[in-house]
Amino acid sequence: MRFHELPSEPLVMKACAFTYVAFGVMFGAPLLLGLAVSVKHPSSLGPVGLLLSVLALSWVWIACFKLVVSNKFISYRTLFTGTRSFALSEIESCDVAIGDKTYSDRFKPPIRLVIRPRQATGKRPISVNLKVFSKSDVIWITKVLCRPNQ
């Protein structure tokens, strides 16, 4: 691991703008269509409200992604799993995993950075969802934490 490349101040990574745009288009296009239909048929406002709620919830979910890297610890926060942290000295290995090899991988992000702590710590690995972060952040974090041969 290349911990000498870590910043002196904690580096905070959040979801990139493209993630918000992608979800905005995915749910915003049907929302606009529903609004256009509801002008002629006001009784169809129920689905419009549902789409608006789904759009808002998706943006809240995206806003909760946060990865903090300092020269002493790494911390990852999501909406549904909360915040999990490791001291850098507790990290045994780190690699990028794509897809699902086991049944339990189906419930993990499709492209993820798996940070495994030493077994003596008794902590579970952290699976960081790489899809929401910018390409430059993903390249930097994998360069610093992952071994070059992996």
Residue 83: phi, psi to the nearest 5?
A: -100, 135
Does 2 have pLDDT greater than 70?
no
Question: Does residue 1 contact residue 145 with C-beta atoms inside 8 Å?
Answer: yes
The single-letter DSSP state of residue 110 is S
Q: What is the largest CA-CA distance in the chain?
A: 65
Q: Per the confidence metrics, is the pTM higher than 0.95?
A: no
Residue type, 138: V
- What's residue 114's pLDDT? 93
Two structure tokens written together for 122: 């008794």
Q: What is the pLDDT of residues 36-77, one digit of tens each?
A: 988 888 887 888 899 999 999 999 999 999 999 988 899 999
Nearest to 10 by CA among 63, 72, 54: 72
- What's residue 60's pLDDT? 97
